[in-house]
Each structure stands twice: as C-alpha cells, then as structure tokens.
Amino acid sequence: MSSLANLNDQQNLTLTQISYSSNMLSKHHGKTFGEIADYISKKNPKDRSEEEAKFLKLMEQFPSDNNPLANYKVVGTANNSSSGFGAVCFSDENGNTGFSYRGTDGPPSKKSINDWLDNGEAAVTGDSKQCQEAEEFFEKYSDPNGNNYLYGHSKGGNLSEYVFVRNHEKIKGMHLLNPQPLNPMTLSAEQMAALQSDKVDIVVVEGDYVWFLGLLPSYGNVRVVDSNDNDSHSYWSINFNEDGSVSKGNHPLWEYFIYALVLKYGPIIQGFGAIFGFICDCAAEFVKLVKKGWEKCKEFIAWVTDKIKKFGKALKELANDIGEFFTEMFNKVKNWYNKNLNKGFKYATANPQIVADTYKLRQYAQRLQSVNSRVTKLDFRLDSLYWQVGLLDLWNLMHADLLTSYSWRINRCVSYLNETAGDFERVETDLINKL
C-alpha cells in the first residue's frame, strides 16, 4: 500500500495531473485508478477520449503489477463549464484524502476564456469564482481528522494555495507544479507563515514562465528542477531519476531580469487589486448586515478596522520578505557572474595572497623620512648664513635654499607610501575573509 504521506516526487507530481481528467473521472466514482486504467486500456485507442488518453499515459509510467497509485479510489469530482473549474477528490487505503485541482486548459480560446478571466481576477484581487469553488469542494470532501493533501499544476496550484492558507490546520501536505502565485497582499501573517512551512512543496521546472507572474510568498519552499527541453510548463518536461526523484536545476538568467520587473511593479498591481477586492467584500458584507440592524453594523465596522490593521502589518512583512528574496536573487546573479565571467574574481580565488611587498613600501618611507630630516637640518644651517654672506653671494645662497623647500613634497611621499601600505594590508585581509 502506498500512502499519500509517503510518495516520491514522480508520484506526487503525477497527482497534480489527475485533475485534467476530471470530466472523464466523474463517470467512475467509487472505482480505483487501477480499475479505470484497465478499463481504458481495453478500449480501441481511436475510441478513447482525450482525457482518457491523458489518464492512461499517467498510469502507464508505473508498472501495471506494481502501480503505487492503482488502489487510490475516486471519491468525488467537480466540473463547471461556465467558470472552468475542475477538481478530483480521491483516497488511499489508509484513509488519507487527496484533492487535485485542475489548471487552465491550453492557451486563450473560446473553450478556456472563462479560465483565463479567472486567472486574471485571482492574480490581481487574490480571489475568484474558481477559488471559492475550490474551497467549497474541499469542505464537501475533506477528511474531518485532518488527513488531507492538496495537489495542483499551474492554475490548479493557485487554487490549492487558496484552499491551503484558509485551511492549513486541516491539511498535512501540499504538492504543486509550476503554480500561479497567490496575491500575497490579501494574506494575513499567519497565512504567510503557513505557506512557508514544511507542509508546502513546490516544484518549478527550469525555464517555466508561470511561477514568477506574480509574487510567490512560499518562495522558500520552491525547488527548481532539471528539464528535458520540452515545454517547461508541462509535467512531461521533468527529468525523473530511476527512483522517482528529481534532479536540481537552475533558473535561466533571463528569469532573474523578468522577476526583477515583477518585484518592482507586481506589488503596485496586486496592492491595488487587493484594496479593490477588499472594498467590494466590505460593500457586499455591509449590505447584508444593514438588513440585520445597527448592532450588526457596529460589528462590521470593528471587523473592517481589524482587517485594515492586519492588512498594513501584512504589507510591512511582505516588503521585508521581498527585500530578502531580491537580495538573495541578486547575490546568486553576482556569484554566477563572478564564477563565470569575472576573470579578476577567478584569479583572486585561485591566488588569495596579493603580491604587494608592503614592508618595502614602509622601508622606502623611512628612507625618505631620513632624507627629509637631513634636508631640514641643512635648511636651518642655510638660513643662519643670510646674516654672514655678502651681497655677491646672496643669489647663490637663495638658489641653494630654494632646493630645501621640497621638504613638504617629500613628506607627502612619505605619507603616501605609509597609507598605501596600510591600504594594501587592509584590503588583502578583507578579501581573504570574503573569499
């Protein structure tokens, strides 16, 4: 038996894709994944629907006689063609309950236009019709003992996050693939902390173009994985190892520049969106409470005041998180540049000792100081001669005395040599400590 609590990367990420067959699975409530796959495999390939083909392809990743997902049973499904919402609820043999939320079906089209409108609404305001449907679906099928797990890809990841932050105490784990980010401006400090807990596991394929289209509050739990050069947003672009694990990948350099723009302008867009959504919620709630009397209105005013305080606190915490994240990103880019393009850094790393003989610099300074001391004494003796020479020798004396006036320049050379030696020693120590 394979419990939802003990799956490897490939198995967890496969469950993020189950929801793309939600229409087909609605006809198989109460059946196991293995039974459904067996039923589909016996059909003529030409007679299989698109969703049946997708489901069978996922199941055929694993041996038919040892499929860890075979005994998972379909508990419930949801499919709303008007909003684009789709989801599948399933359970393992240990009583754990899983929820797989469906992502957007392809590029903008007549079929998926509602999906894409919902994407925009969720990204800007942090809430949408599908988000509310996702929570209702969870409330309908969730295990009351808290043995619940969430799965989602792309838009489905956004729906999972929405459900998770509002029910995190009832959820044991959440596994997402290339998720659309939540609007962090709408989250409380407690919800932000929940998204950054060890319950959350987010896999982003290197080169994916969805994860940074917004601010991902759970960035600390993001794992970047290696791609096989297919469409980086797709499940099938992941390189799985033989044991079902994923290999570490790296964000392409272009992602850092785009995400820098997101960090700069994202808070403005999402901030206004969060405020707009908050005002709409307040207006709707106020209309409801007016009908119930003045006492309810006073309760509503207190609720709004509390929300505004929490909202301000959340903005401050988000700003700190963004600053830390951007600093981390900048350091990664700087380190990559130093290691790959900065020849001086490479040389300094290989040769941490700076070849500058500061002892000789100080020795030269002492010798100049000694010369200057002798020049000063000579200048004093020349000055005493002015009262003893005749008019004819005065010109020669003045010319000789002029040469001793270079003493101040020698002092400048002495200072320069000493300061340079000190600077070399301080820089060398600082560089060695940082390398």
324 and 373 share a domain? no
Residues belonging to the chain: 435
Helices in 82-206 by DSSP H: which ranges?
Answer: 113-125, 129-141, 155-167, 189-195
| 67 found inside a domain | yes
Write down the pLDDT at residue 144. Answer: 92
What is the arithmetic mean of pLDDT over 299-304? Answer: 60
Token pair of 292, please? 């119930």
How many domains is the chain built from? 3
Return the SS3 of 431: helix
Query: Do 243 and 392 share a structural domain?
Result: no
C-alpha to C-alpha distance for 251 and 336, rounded to whole angstroms: 12
> By C-alpha distance, which of 88, 194, 183, 73 is closest to 134?
88
Do 203 and 280 belong to one domain? no
Bigger pLDDT: 125 or 97? 97
Q: Residues 151, 15: contact at Cβ < 8 Å? A: yes
pLDDT-based confidence at 203, cuts 50/70/90? very high
CA dist 421 and 362 (Å) reads: 7
Q: Are residues 288 and 323 in the same domain?
A: yes
Q: Which residue has the higher pLDDT, 335 or 132?
A: 132
Domain finish residue from 251, 282, 305: 251
Distance (Å) of CA 308 to CA 126, 186, 232, 270, 275: 16, 11, 39, 16, 10
Domain check: are 297 and 200 in the same one? Answer: no
At 91 the three-state DSSP class reads strand
Mean pLDDT of 60-67: 90
Of all residues in the chain, the percent with pLDDT exceeding 90 is: 34
Domain that holds residue 379: 358-434
Are residues 247 and 271 located together in one domain of the fold? no
What integer best gives the mean pLDDT of the chain? Answer: 76
Tokens (6 digits) for 303: 């609720």
Are 227 and 179 within 8 A, CB to CB?
Answer: no
What is the number of other CB atoms lying within 10 angstroms of the CB of residue 229?
Answer: 10
> What phi and psi values does residue 225 have, to the nearest 5 degrees?
-120, 160
Q: Which of 24-28, 163-167, 361-365 has the lowest mean pLDDT?
A: 361-365
- Residue 415 pLDDT class (50, 70, 90 cuts): confident
Q: Does one domain contain both 114 and 210?
A: yes
Smallest Cα–Cα separation from 133: which of 167, 87, 175, 189? 87
Is residue 311 included in any domain, yes or no? yes
Backbone Cα Rg of the chain:
35
- Identify the H or E element spanning 25: helix 22-25
Task: Give the pLDDT confidence score for residue 273 in this predicted structure.
Answer: 47
Q: Last residue of some domain: 343, 369, 400?
A: 343
Token duo for residue 318:
């988000």
- Residue whose entry in the numeric block shows the structure tokens 């040469």: 403
Same domain, 60 and 196: yes
The first and second tokens of residue 327, run together, are 């600093």
Predicted model pTM: 0.62
Residue showing tokens 């007679």: 47
Cα(99)–Cα(320) distance, integer angstroms? 32
Residue closest to 175 by CA, chosen among 90, 74, 70, 100: 100
* 50 part of a folded domain: yes
Segment 94-109 shows an average pLDDT of: 83
CB 25 within 8 A of CB 77: yes
Whether 84 and 207 share a structural domain: yes
Instruction: Identify whether 383 is part of a domain.
Output: yes
Same domain, yes or no, for 108 and 28? Answer: yes
**351 lies in a domain?**
no
Please give the pLDDT value at position 186: 75
Kindly state whether residues 103 and 199 are assigned to the same domain. Answer: yes
Beta bridge partners of 76: 89
Q: Which of 221, 251, 281 is the last residue of a domain?
A: 251
Residues 6+ apart with CB under 8 A from 85: 78, 79, 102, 118, 129, 130, 133, 134, 159
185-195 pLDDT, tens digit per residue, is 777 888 888 98
pLDDT of 390 higher than 70: no
Is the pLDDT confidence value at 279 over 60? no
Q: What is the pLDDT of residue 253?
A: 63
Give pLDDT, residue 117: 73
Reduced to 3 states (helix: H, G, I; strand: E, B; else coil), residue 353 is: coil
The per-residue pLDDT for 359 is 65
- The SS3 of residue 74 is strand
Q: Tell me, yes or no, whether 256 lies in a domain.
A: no
Which has the higher per-residue pLDDT, 353 or 237? 237
406 and 412 in contact (C-beta within 8 Å)?
A: no
Residue 107's pLDDT band (boundaries 50, 70, 90)?
A: low
Q: What are phi and psi of 181, to 5 degrees?
A: -65, 155
CATH number at residue 31: 3.40.50
Torsion of CA 397, 403, 406, 407, to 10 degrees: -60
What's the confidence (pLDDT) of residue 56?
95
Please name every residue paired with 80 in a beta bridge, in sequence order, or none if there are none: 85
* Mean pLDDT score, 73-80: 95
In this structure, are 240 and 274 located in the same domain? no
Residue 348 domain-assigned (yes or no): no
In a domain, 413, yes or no: yes
